[in-house]
Copies of this chain bind each other. A is one copy, B any other.
């Protein structure tokens, strides 16, 4: 069915699993690619990489070699400031594409770290550009994904710039919920893969504030939070929290 990999290093030890047979196909880079073209996309993604929890996928300053599609696991990206300040810029899960920050200067501009044992598909960037010149639907999907990242960032700005602590955390929980749901997992009950400090960094708050707000949500019956385990009891109330009229 599949032609063998034509070039590139042979990836001993990793079973090659094609995009065409990947369950994340419709969430990931190959979304919207038709069957005939899929064979070429399969050849584009020619290597898998396993990461242990805590391991870096790439660091700020590293040259751009590939983009990465998350196959399984959970990751975070952190932007660093010269003075050592660090801010979580995003949490990433299966089907999401990483590394687009590096295209502008050919160097990564953030650190990306696995928050649990994870696996990513390497997509050599030069080859991706070449193939997307030949396959309009691949080109369109790449543009859509980059644009989606820009839109996501606008959402984070809105959150950081104009929401209070409770609203930020409610938005965060609903966003996680929605993404788990889209991947076929429960949107009402899940385990957080990140610490309170990482959530705080992402939301522009301190870890104590995260802890306090979670406790308050629990007292008010909106969620059950037991350490990393979260159960959302009243998603509507969380939504109301976010969109309540000001003034």
Interface residues of A (CB under 8 A from B): 79, 81-85, 87, 89, 100-105, 109-110, 129, 132-134, 136, 139-140, 143-151, 153-158, 160-162, 201-204, 242-246
- CB proximity of A49 to chain B, nearest CB, Å: 22
Say whether B143 contacts A103, CB under 8 Å: yes
Across-interface contacts of A81 in B (CB, < 8 A): 158, 162, 243
Integer count of this chain's copies in the complex: 2
- Which of B79, B132, B201, B244 makes the CB contact (< 8 A) with A155? B79
Given contacts A102-B147, A129-B143, A157-B160, 10 further A-B contacts (CB under 8 A): A84-B246, A85-B246, A100-B150, A101-B147, A104-B148, A133-B136, A143-B146, A153-B153, A153-B156, A160-B161
Say whether A161 contacts B101, CB under 8 Å: no
Interface of A is mostly: helix
9 inter-chain pairs at a CB distance below 8 angstroms, sorted by A residue, are: A85-B162, A87-B158, A101-B151, A104-B145, A104-B151, A133-B133, A133-B136, A157-B160, A160-B161
Bound CA–CA A157/B83 (angstroms): 16
Across-interface contacts of A158 in B (CB, < 8 A): 79, 81, 85, 87, 89
- CB proximity of A62 to chain B, nearest CB, Å: 14
Across-interface contacts of A105 in B (CB, < 8 A): 151
A153 and chain B: residue at smallest CB distance:
B153
- Which of B146, B202, B243 makes the CB contact (< 8 A) with A83? B243
